[in-house]
Amino acid sequence: MSENFLVKKYKEKVELLENNSILVDASDWKEISTFIFKSRFDYLMCITSYDLEQDNKIGLAYNFYSTKSKEYLEIRIEFEATTKVFSIAEIWRAADWHEREAYDLMGVIFEGHPDMKRILLPDDWDGHPLRKDWKEPEYYNGMPVPKDKTYWE
Amino acid sequence: MYKVLDKSIIGADEMVMNMGPQHPSTHGVLRLKIVTDGEIVSHIEPIIGYLHRCFEKHCENLSYEQIVPFTDRCDYLAAMHMAHGYSIAVEKLLGIEELPERVEYIRVILAEFQRIASHLIAVGVFGLDVGAITPFTWTLRDRERIIDLFESVTGSRLLYNYIWPGGLAHDLPPNFIQKANDFLNYFEPQIEEYNNLLTTNKIFIERSADIGVMPVDVAINYGVSGPTLRGSGVPFDLRKDEPYSIYQKFDFDVPVGEGLMGTVGDCWDRYYVKVLEMKESIKILKQALNSIPEGDVKAAIPKKIRPKKGEIYSRYETARGDLGLYIRSGGKNMPSRLKMRSPAYCNLSVLNEISAGWMISDVISVLGSLDIVLGEIDR
């Protein structure tokens, strides 16, 4: 199993979850991500951000794939929304846009990203809409957001 | 490894140019901010998001069944693939292991027809981008026949809402097999015609060979997938490497770029892989159409989709590459988070890496060969 090599190396720092994904602390991510890249996981498939809906915590799920040994690896980090997470965009360039998307839609703050800004939403957008506590604003750029939606709903 | 544009080196000769969002060569509403030194491109920044329709936010407020039409609208040129990939993901989440044989056969047949239709657009539009107008009309003429087939099956021509989690909306019409075989007999010789008209055309080769070469390590580091990755010579195809549905039953090859006209991984290779893939799709279709079994296509559709708490990551090979779906279920009939890793999103992010240093006209070639669909990039 691809997960075991991480558990063996970082016994206290990682936790094996039910579906064989590995929970990592945000402060150890810099060290562990470098190790993962050097082992064999050269292909980053996806970074998913999610809202845990308790204690203002959010999470990230990294899905890795190894083109050499055809193995999968899923890493999770769960942290307070204000925590800065180490950016892996310099290691896997695929992470560049995925991290920008996680910041844009979920408000994850990455440390060391080369070009952090919004990617899908306009630059003047307020807030991060995939947070569960996100509320539709009253005004956007001075224009009232229509409340009567009977025309299209 | 990563090149950030150093503002201090912009001399008097550098100019920032804007291409798009309403540029015919950008395949939709894509804006390219190009820093040029004369005719030479020194840095490109793709600016996306003009077609953002909050797909992921919508999914959190819709039941699993209601999401299917939304996935269609992500990649509107390969809507069948998106619905198929999504259905496989939901089935995985629900733990449905086996579907009726007929369902799997119909899904594969439609997915392969969709792959041909999507590649026809890609091939034709790439020709159009570099100045060959006739091939575009030819490929669209043939795609029209596939769209007619889809219309006879699903009732709609572009966005089908046909493949559902656990089954299909309804069965095939009675004379579908005959019509599909007729089309294949007509279409197979057509590929040679495209080759004569476009693939081996001297002007086309000049515009695409040796241009925008993507080395394998760059492609993998950027998460590039699909025909774009295979154009660089990596024989990675999920249909072969990790067969989903019933692809393990069929005999087909995975074409890769070989650098026939220039270097491995140039625009011509990425183009030619798509042409060869159409031939492979025909191979699969012929086998599938000959052996399609009888059965009830609605037998396995679950009455209620309410998966247990948990999360899955599912991969699917669309016409553009590796579609990933990460679904977190909170035990309700709606997903608590659904993330779509769209293939063209990752394929586009490599644009700066492979086209910096080339002429502006070559950027059009590179962009055409990447075969992007903005609906899927912006979601």
Q: Do A19 and B310 touch (CB under 8 A)?
A: yes
Query: Residue B259: left if φ>0, alpha if ψ -120 to 50, beta else—which one?
Result: left
Closest C-alpha to A116, from A103, A133, A135, A131:
A103
Q: From edge to edge, which strands make up the β-sheet containing B31-37?
A: B14-19, B31-37, B40-47
CB B378 within 8 A of CB B53: yes
Q: Do A45 and B221 touch (CB under 8 A)?
A: no
A45 close contact with B: CB closer than 8 A = yes
Model pLDDT, residue A35: 86
Q: Do B220 and A122 touch (CB under 8 A)?
A: no
Closest C-alpha to B84, from B118, B129, B50, B128:
B118
Q: Which of B312, B341, B379 should we substitute to test contact with A (largest number of A Cβ atoms within 10 Å)?
A: B341
ipTM comes to 0.87
Phi, psi (deg, nearest 5) at residue B322? -90, 105
In the predicted model, is pLDDT for residue B265 greater than 80? yes
DSSP at A28: G
Q: pLDDT digits over B173-221, tens only?
A: 988 999 999 999 999 898 998 898 888 888 888 888 888 888 898 899 9
B313 close contact with A: CB closer than 8 A = yes
Model pLDDT, residue B2: 45
CB B104 within 8 A of CB B245: yes
In sequence order, which residues have a C-beta less than 8 Å from that of residue B299 and are 6 or more positions away?
A: B100, B167
Model pLDDT, residue B116: 93
Residue that the structure tokens 């099956």 belong to: B153
DSSP at B244: -
Distance CA A8, CA A21 (A): 14
Angle, alpha carbons B91-B113-B318 (nearest 5°): 50
In sequence order, which residues have a C-beta less than 8 Å from that of residue B226 and are 6 or more positions away?
A: B317, B318, B319, B320, B321, B322, B343, B347
By CA distance, what is A76's nearest residue in B?
B311
Q: pTM of the prediction?
A: 0.89
By CA distance, what is A52's nearest residue in B?
B336
In the predicted model, is pLDDT for residue B148 greater than 70? yes
In the predicted model, is pLDDT for residue B43 greater than 90? no
Q: pLDDT digits over B332-369, tens only?
A: 888 988 999 989 998 998 988 888 888 888 888 888 88
CB B129 within 8 A of CB B367: yes
Residue type present at position B219: A
B311 close contact with A: CB closer than 8 A = yes
Model pLDDT, residue B282: 92
Model pLDDT, residue B144: 92
Residue B81, Cα to own-chain centre: how many angstroms? 8
Q: pLDDT digits over B272-284, tens only?
A: 999 999 999 999 9
Model pLDDT, residue B74: 87
Query: Residue A35: left if φ>0, alpha if ψ -120 to 50, beta else—which one?
Result: alpha
Give the nearest partner residue to B56 out of A67, A98, A105, using CB atoms.
A105
In the predicted model, is pLDDT for residue B38 greater than 60? yes
Res. A153 pLDDT band, cuts 50 70 90: low
Closest C-alpha to B235, from B219, B212, B248:
B219
Distance CA B332, CA B60 (A): 11
B49: which chain A residues are within 8 Å (Cβ-Cβ)?
A: 118-122
DSSP at B359: B
Res. B26 pLDDT band, cuts 50 70 90: low
Q: Do B315 and A45 touch (CB under 8 A)?
A: yes
In the predicted model, is pLDDT for residue B296 greater than 90? no
Mean pLDDT, rounded, of chain B:
87
In the predicted model, is pLDDT for residue B36 greater than 50? yes
Q: pLDDT digits over A19-73, tens only?
A: 778 888 888 888 888 888 888 888 898 899 988 888 888 889 999 998 888 888 8
Distance CA A14, CA B339 (A): 25
| Residue B72 distance to chain A (closest CA, Å) | 19
Structure tokens at B87: 């259905």
B58 close contact with A: CB closer than 8 A = no
A53: which chain B residues are within 8 Å (Cβ-Cβ)?
A: 336
Distance CA A44, CA A63 (A): 6
